[in-house]
Every structure is written in C-alpha cells, then in structure tokens.
Amino acid sequence: MGGIGKIFIIIGIIFIILGAFFVVGGRIPWLGKLPGDIYIKKEGVQIYIPITTSIIISLILTLLFRLLR
C-alpha cells in the first residue's frame, strides 16, 4: 500500500507543476514562439506544432526530476 501512496504524491506534484506552468506560461513571451516551432495558418485552419518548446520543457523537467531523485 505504501507504493500507491507514493504514486499519488508524485501525480499530485506533477499536477501542481503543470498548473504553475499554465499560470506562468502566459507571462513568458518567447514561450511558443521559438525557432523550430511550426505554425501553419491557412483558410479556416490553424496548426501549431511546438517542437522546440516541447524539447526545452522536456529538458527542464528531466533536470528537475534528476535533481529531486
């Protein structure tokens, strides 16, 4: 049973980090507008693929989790 509690705590921490990211994310002007982020706009269709932003977020989270381990 101790393993399930630990999993719930980790999931809760992940949700807190995601929530903070959504709150602060709007205040970071370069987030989502980096070179390598693909934005296609045509008649009635908008496609946004945040490749570089996703890589940077992944690196930050990887470093954070490695430090917390």
pLDDT tens string, the chain, 69 residues long: the values are 568 888 888 888 888 888 887 787 667 777 777 888 898 999 999 998 889 988 988 998 898 888 777
Which residue, among 52, 51, 50, 68, has the nearest Cα to 14 in the 3D structure? Answer: 68
Coil, strand or helix: which one is 62? helix
- Write down the domain spans for the chain: 2-68
- Residue 50 is given by DSSP the state -
pTM, whole model, 2 decimals?
0.57
Q: Which two tokens stand for residue 35?
A: 């070179």
On whether the CB atoms of residues 53 and 31 are closer than 8 A, the answer is yes
Instruction: Please tell me the predicted confidence (pLDDT) of residue 42.
Output: 92
Q: How far is CA 14 from the centre of its chain?
A: 10
Q: Tell me if 37 sits within 8 A of 52, measured CB to CB.
A: yes
